[in-house]
Amino acid sequence: MKTKKKDSSWQTIKLIAYSFTIAFIIKLFIFSPFIVEGASMQPTLHNHDYLFVNKASFHITSINRGEVVIIKKQNDPKYYVKRIIGMPNDQVNITNGVLHINGKSIDENYLNASLRTEYKEYLQFNQVKVPNNSYLVMGDNRLNSMDSRNGLGFIKKSEIIGKVEGVFYPFNRVRVVH
């Protein structure tokens, strides 16, 4: 009778240890939660939104324009959440609040519609060429965002931690992020 109880306890301990190990590996290499700090991605993401981030996606698929990503710059303790705007070798500029990539205006339906008038008046960004193996990122709240235009510079693929898949908290904002 005692050996059955001992075996059962040992099985429970092994199950718990395996579960924690698997959860740790998943968090470390595949999925991770992140918290938004600040208003640079509004209206898409808000301060204190809890994000579900896929860390494995860019090892399987390529990085695409328009995706929202988590960035960790070398020698900077902070993580940043931004949108991929410019791909390697793109020519990017903003004139009168309108984004142009390789000479074509881009419809950015994820931007705040009420701020677009302000963007037309105040938002300018001289044309730059995105270096090979780098990306240009911006926050959706263009007048209140530190991004490739004003502090982060171009982002290397190795500095992209993962793709934001969705918001899981607060519950009234739970959704998939595009």
Would residue 158 show up in a list of annotated catalytic residues for this protein?
A: no
74 in any annotated domain:
yes
Tell me which of 82, 134, 145, 148 is the catalytic residue. Answer: 82
Residue 12 has pLDDT above 70, yes or no: yes
Q: Which 8-state DSSP code applies to residue 24?
A: H
| pLDDT confidence bin for 7, thresholds 50/70/90 | confident
CB count within 10 Å of CB 91 equals 14
Q: What is the pLDDT of residues 58-82, one digit of tens each?
A: 667 789 999 999 999 988 999 999 9
Distance CA(63)–CA(57), nearest Å, equals: 9
Domain count for the chain, please give it. Answer: 1
14 in any annotated domain:
no
13 in any annotated domain:
no
24 in any annotated domain:
no
**Domain CATH code at residue 89:** 2.10.109.10
8 in any annotated domain:
no
Would residue 55 show up in a list of annotated catalytic residues for this protein?
A: no
Tell me which of 5, 6, 14, 40 is the catalytic residue. Answer: 40
pTM of the model: 0.82
User: Which residues form the domain of 160?
Assistant: 33-176
What mean pLDDT do residues 106-110 have? 91
2 in any annotated domain:
no
Nearest to 135 by CA among 42, 79, 73: 73
* Choice between 33 and 135, residue whose per-residue pLDDT is larger: 135
